[in-house]
């Protein structure tokens, strides 16, 4: 990796990128695209969980923010042991949204 990259991202991160490149047998550009994609995906999921916890989104809307189908997002929440307080109106809104998608 170039000195410029190691200066910008730090030595530990540079080593992680090199490790990823070797493990996945990819070049630097491919590694950076994939890792950036994973980072953005993780950020979207964390943002969705935070919106749910703050009551700023329904489960359906949070799944959309996370970029996941509803049931995959619910499974993600179960795996993370996220406990939510669900309002009746939220369930109605989510079911209505799900019906619109299936129609």
Per-residue pLDDT tens digits for 77-91: 999 998 877 667 766
For residue 91, what are its two tokens? 């369930």
Helix axes 28-53, 70-79, angle to 10 degrees: 80
Is the distance from CB of 18 to CB of 1 less than 8 angstroms?
Answer: yes
Looking at residue 11, its pLDDT comes to 86
Tell me the CA distances in angstroms from 36 to 33, 61, 62, 99, one per residue in order: 5, 24, 21, 34
pTM metric for this prediction: 0.68
Per the CB < 8 A criterion, the answer to whether 93 and 58 are in contact is: yes
Query: Do the beta carbons of residue 60 and residue 48 sit within 8 Å?
Result: no
**Whole-number mean pLDDT of the chain?**
86
Q: Which among 49, 48, 68, 60 has a CA at the least distance from the CA of 92?
A: 60
Residue 67 CA to residue 63 CA, distance in Å, equals: 6
In the chain, which stretches have pLDDT less than 50?
A: 1
């Amino acid at each position: 990796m170039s000195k410029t990259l190691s200066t910008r991202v730090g030595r530990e991160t540079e080593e992680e990128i090199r490790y990823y490149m070797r493990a996945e047998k990819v070049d630097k550009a491919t590694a950076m695209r994939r890792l950036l994609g994973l980072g953005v995906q993780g950020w979207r999921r964390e943002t969705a969980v935070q919106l749910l916890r703050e009551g700023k989104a329904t489960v359906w809307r949070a799944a959309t923010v996370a970029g996941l189908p509803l049931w995959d997002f619910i499974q993600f929440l179960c795996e993370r042991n996220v406990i939510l307080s669900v309002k009746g109106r939220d369930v109605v809104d989510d079911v209505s949204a799900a019906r619109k998608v299936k129609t």
